[in-house]
């Protein structure tokens, strides 16, 4: 009886939905078509244009464009500064996330709020701040140059600092929610089993947050490869010395060498795409695990 009553109750509800679907099938398809056309025009078309342009000299032409000394140096500089930044950012980001989640201290919510600042302020301004702080004429910059012979601005250290600044939130914000979900009982259990703090982190906590750490790291690396605004301010535009790939693309466009610009862009695009796919894969697996 109960089952019968149930069916009777649901049927009148289900009927109108079905009727509407049958009467206007094109409503559903038109919505999908709009989304697909929009995506093509906005994303795929420009991509195709760049690919077409970069490959207009054939594969060998592309290779020649990429291996030109200035281009090659720019790509290398971009890759190694981004890599160094990613290592530092990953370690410090995990640490910051841990402190924010596990400890209570005055100013915690303030600290939590300012982590997103790099997302909010223009990257040009971020670069400017670093120049004002570390420039050769300033107190801090001058001191570092005189005492240790370290040049920050217009040199790779400046690039790394700028990259650290603009990509700081990535690791913190991916690791933080995962950490929050992990019960403190896990750490307590490890403590009663005699594990030191480091061992607990390495064996218990890290395996649980590793996927989040890796995706955070890859995202910040991808972000760093394309960073332009802060770097042009901090590093200037000196070919072979402080010119990153993104800045190189700009200089090639300005000197009317569009094909060289496209070639380097294709390299950047390929890297970015592969990273996004890897992150997507990790996150899917993480969801599957949970």
Partner 1 sequence: MSIVLQDLVKHIGAHTVVDHVSLEVHDGELLVLLGPSGSGKSTILRIIAGLIPADQGRVWLHGRDVTDLSPQQRNTGFVFQNYSLFRHMTVADNIEFGLASRHVPKAQRTAKREELLALVGLAGLGGRYPKQLSGGQQQRVAVARALAFEPSVLLLDEPFGALDVKIRAQLRQALKEIQQRIRVTTILVTHDQEEAFELADRIGVIDRGKLLEVGPPTALYRSPQQEFVATFLGGANLLAGQAKAGRVNLGSMELSNAASYTTVDPEGRLEVLFRPEDLMLATQREELTIPVLGQGVIEEVLFLGTLQRLRLRLQPLPDTWHLPPEFGETGVPIQIARIPRSDGHLDFQVGQQVWVGIHNFHILPRIPMRLAIGLDEHTNAEVLLNYSALLARITNGPLTVIAVAEDRADAAQLSKYARDNLMAHTGEVNYHIRAGRSPEELVRDLKQGAYDLLVLAEPRKIAPRAETNLRELVRRSPLPVLIVKGEHASIRRILFCTAGGEPGKRDIIFGGRIARRAGAATTLLYVDAATVRAARPWITNHLEEGALTLRNQGIQVGVKERHGVIIEEILQEIQQGEHDLVVIGRHLETAQTRFAQTDLASEILQRAECPVLIVTGDLNRLG
Q: Tell me: does residue 208 bind partner 1 (CB under 8 A).
A: yes
User: Closer to partner 1 at the Cβ: 35 or 193?
Assistant: 193
**Whole-number Å distance between alpha carbons of 156 and 73:** 12
User: Closer to partner 1 at the Cβ: 183 or 256?
Assistant: 183
Report helix angle 69-102 to 156-181, nearest 10: 40
User: Closer to partner 1 at the Cβ: 66 or 195?
Assistant: 195
Contact with partner 1 (CB under 8 A) among 58, 107, 149, 194: 194
Helix (H, G, I), strand (E, B) or coil at 220: helix
Give min distance, CB of 187 to partner 1, in A: 9
Give min distance, CB of 208 to partner 1, in A: 6
Q: Which stretch binds partner 1 (CB under 8 A): 146-154, 185-193, 240-248, 279-287?
A: 185-193
Contact with partner 1 (CB under 8 A) among 111, 125, 189, 276: 189
Whether the CB-CB separation of 272 and 281 falls below 8 Å is answered with no
Q: Which stretch binds partner 1 (CB under 8 A): 116-124, 140-148, 189-197, 224-232?
A: 189-197
Q: Which stretch binds partner 1 (CB under 8 A): 125-133, 186-194, 230-238, 275-283?
A: 186-194
Kindly state the number of chain residues that form the binding site for partner 1, as judged by CB under 8 A. 17
H helices, E strands: number in the chain: 16, 0
Report the half-sphere exposure of 227 (CA within 13 A, side-chain side).
35
**Whole-number Å distance between alpha carbons of 253 and 265:** 11
Looking up tokens 């600290």 gives 111
User: Closer to partner 1 at the Cβ: 26 or 198?
Assistant: 198
Radius of gyration of the chain (CA): 26
User: Closer to partner 1 at the Cβ: 10 or 192?
Assistant: 192
Q: Which stretch binds partner 1 (CB under 8 A): 112-120, 121-129, 198-206, 249-257?
A: 198-206
Question: Distance from CA of residue 18 to its chain's centroid?
Answer: 43
User: Closer to partner 1 at the Cβ: 69 or 194?
Assistant: 194
Q: Tell me: does residue 106 bind partner 1 (CB under 8 A).
A: no
**Whole-number Å distance between alpha carbons of 182 and 190:** 13
User: Closer to partner 1 at the Cβ: 140 or 191?
Assistant: 191
**Whole-number Å distance between alpha carbons of 248 and 262:** 11
Q: Which distant-in-sequence residues (6+ apart) come within 8 Å of 105 by Cβ?
A: none
Q: What are the structure tokens assigned to 24, written together?
A: 């206007």
Whether the CB-CB separation of 259 and 57 falls below 8 Å is answered with yes
Contact with partner 1 (CB under 8 A) among 52, 186, 255, 270: 186
Give min distance, CB of 111 to partner 1, in A: 24
Q: Tell me: does residue 28 bind partner 1 (CB under 8 A).
A: no
Contact with partner 1 (CB under 8 A) among 207, 256, 287, 288: 207
Q: Tell me: does residue 147 bind partner 1 (CB under 8 A).
A: no
> Reduced to 3 DSSP states, what percent helix, strand and coil does the chain have, rounded to the nearest 5?
85, 0, 15
Binding residues vs partner 1 (CB under 8 A): 183, 185-186, 188-196, 199, 203-204, 207-208
């Amino acid at each position: 009886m109960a089952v019968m009553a149930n069916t009777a109750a649901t049927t009148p509800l289900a009927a109108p939905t079905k009727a509407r679907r049958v009467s206007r099938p094109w409503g559903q398809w038109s919505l999908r078509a709009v989304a697909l056309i929009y995506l093509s025009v906005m994303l795929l078309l420009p991509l195709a244009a760049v690919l077409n342009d970069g490959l207009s000299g054939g594969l060998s032409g592309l290779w020649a464009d990429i291996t030109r000394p200035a281009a090659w140096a720019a790509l290398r500089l971009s890759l190694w500064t981004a890599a160094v930044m990613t290592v530092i950012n990953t370690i410090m980001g995990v640490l910051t996330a841990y402190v924010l989640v596990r400890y209570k201290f005055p100013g915690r919510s303030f600290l939590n709020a300012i982590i997103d600042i790099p997302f909010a302020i223009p990257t040009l301004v971020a670069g400017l701040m670093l120049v004002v702080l570390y420039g050769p004429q300033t107190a801090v910059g001058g001191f570092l140059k005189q005492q240790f012979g370290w040049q920050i601005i217009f040199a790779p250290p400046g690039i790394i600092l700028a990259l650290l600044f603009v990509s700081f939130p990535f690791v913190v914000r991916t690791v933080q929610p995962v950490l929050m979900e992990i019960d403190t009982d896990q750490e307590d259990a490890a403590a009663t089993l005699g594990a030191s703090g480091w061992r607990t982190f390495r064996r218990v906590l890290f395996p649980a947050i590793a996927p989040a750490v890796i995706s955070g790291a890859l995202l910040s690396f991808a972000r760093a490869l394309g960073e332009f605004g802060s770097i042009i301010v901090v590093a200037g535009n000196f070919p072979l010395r402080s010119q990153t790939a993104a800045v190189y693309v700009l200089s090639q466009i300005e000197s009317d060498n569009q094909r060289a610009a496209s070639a380097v862009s294709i390299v950047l695009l390929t890297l970015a795409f592969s990273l996004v796919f890897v992150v997507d894969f990790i996150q899917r697996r993480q969801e599957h695990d949970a």
